Amino acid sequence: MKTPRVGIIGIGQSDYKPRRADANYPELVREAVKLALNDCKLGLDDMEAVVYSLAPDALLGIGNAERLGVDAVGARNKRFMRINTGGSTGISSLAAAHSHIAAGACDVALVAGADKVGECGDSQTILNKIWDTTYERPLPLGTITMLAMSAVRQMHKYGMTEEDMARIVVKNREHAALNPHAHLRERTSIEEVMNSRMISWPVKLFDCCPQSSGGCAMVLASEDYIRRNKLEAVWITGVAHSSESYFIGDRMGIGYTADHADAQALGEACHRAYRMAGVTDPVAQIDVAELYSPFSNTEYHAIEAAGLAKLGTSHKLLKDEGWFKLGGRVPVNPSGGVLCANPIAITAMVRVAEVALQVWGRAGGHQVKGARRGIASGNGGDHQFFGAMVVEA
């Protein structure tokens, strides 16, 4: 059976900030919902289902905090479920909403969430609790140390340098300066990144994403509904997920199942999404990419997993030819990406929202000229769950 087309008709984003003392958690969700509904000129009563995007409960300090968000998203007596795949939750929630509509369960679905990462205390202490209680939690692993090990492997395997990592930061900050929603909007230089505080070698403070607060919501609809109501839309033409193993130790050493330098399952997810969308040559057919990269080094292997550069070559293509800058061959993270705003529960939704705005021609100051087709990705767990989505005008 051919999967029916699903369109994106509304997008709402907060301005991401280190704290939002003016809004509690449900209010932050509501803020994004209101923006998304205004964007598509529909009301809460038009929403037939809600998929709630919320990553670890522990970041909010409330178990099953989605229960408190039910009224914020207008879901009372409606279809409602929460998705959590860690950092990829936002794109996974969109995939779940896509399934609602493609299955014919409803014509219109709202996907919404928010996070207050900057107000959680210490996110690394919380995120240490994602690991196995016996083997890996006591190391102690955090998401920074986990991906610093990936950076070391990238340096060894592909010759990536600390300056190459800094170049990603400089690029993304340049992009974020043009995006009013971004959290970190100040331009920087390679020297400034190199001189920033060492966090976990070779990852320095400026190589890391911030802890952001904010909300994001999107409205998805069936093609039939969009045509019937003469709505503007862009289309989800490819959607897929894939996963790696849980144990970091399975990705390094003798007999590893996937190389920690790369993002093997992200590659699988992108490949499946491309196949669904009919994309055979990503470099030629993809105009823009928003790839989930919370640390500078991970943007390189995300670019390669998305087929936008050959394995181990992306750092050279950025350095020598500026491929991934705005105005380059395939601009990557024109919004500034995760490096410039990371409200975890919705970060991967923002990637899709930004690609949708790009192919819609509504990205404002960071618009990629003439973008018609883009790819978005999300990473979750311990670099374990990966989602990819192709969006087209």
Q: Which is nearer to other proteins, 349 or 357 (CB)?
A: 349
Residues in contact with other proteins by the rule CB under 8 A: 1-4, 52, 55-59, 61-64, 66-71, 75-86, 92, 95-96, 98-100, 102-105, 126-127, 129-130, 132-133, 239-247, 250, 257, 265, 268-269, 276, 380-382, 384-385
- Label residue 320 exposed, middle or buried (CB < 10 Å: 0-12, 13-18, 19+): exposed
- Shortest gap between Cβ of 105 and other proteins (angstroms)? 6
Q: Which is nearer to other proteins, 133 or 254 (CB)?
A: 133
- Shortest gap between Cβ of 95 and other proteins (angstroms)? 7
- Shortest gap between Cβ of 251 and other proteins (angstroms)? 11
Give the count of beta carbons closer than 10 Å to the beta carbon of residue 231.
17
Q: Which is nearer to other proteins, 108 or 130 (CB)?
A: 130
- Shortest gap between Cβ of 120 and other proteins (angstroms)? 11
- Shortest gap between Cβ of 75 and other proteins (angstroms)? 6
Rg (CA), the chain: 19
Side-by-side strand order, sheet with 6-13: 79-83, 49-53, 108-116, 213-222, 6-13, 234-243, 385-392, 373-380, 288-290
Query: CB of 263 within 8 A of CB of 379?
Result: yes
- Label residue 226 exposed, middle or buried (CB < 10 Å: 0-12, 13-18, 19+): buried
- Shortest gap between Cβ of 386 and other proteins (angstroms)? 10
Residue type, 150: S
- Shortest gap between Cβ of 308 and other proteins (angstroms)? 22
Q: Which is nearer to other proteins, 57 or 259 (CB)?
A: 57
390, β-bridge pairs:
238, 375
Q: Which is nearer to other proteins, 15 or 48 (CB)?
A: 48
Q: Which is nearer to other proteins, 109 or 165 (CB)?
A: 109
Q: What are phi and psi of 112, to 5 degrees?
A: -150, 155
Query: CB of 214 within 8 A of CB of 346?
Result: yes
- Shortest gap between Cβ of 119 and other proteins (angstroms)? 12
Q: Which is nearer to other proteins, 84 or 150 (CB)?
A: 84
Query: CB of 254 within 8 A of CB of 37?
Result: no
Q: Among residues 336, 297, 83, 66, which one has the least CA distance to residue 200?
A: 297
Q: Which is nearer to other proteins, 104 or 180 (CB)?
A: 104
- In the numeric block, the tokens 């018609």 are attached to 372
Q: How many residues make up the chain in this entry?
A: 393
Q: Which is nearer to other proteins, 78 or 316 (CB)?
A: 78
- Shortest gap between Cβ of 257 and other proteins (angstroms)? 7
Scored b (16 or more CB within 10 A) or e, 99-130 reads ebbbeeebbbbbbbbbbbbbbbeebbebbbeb
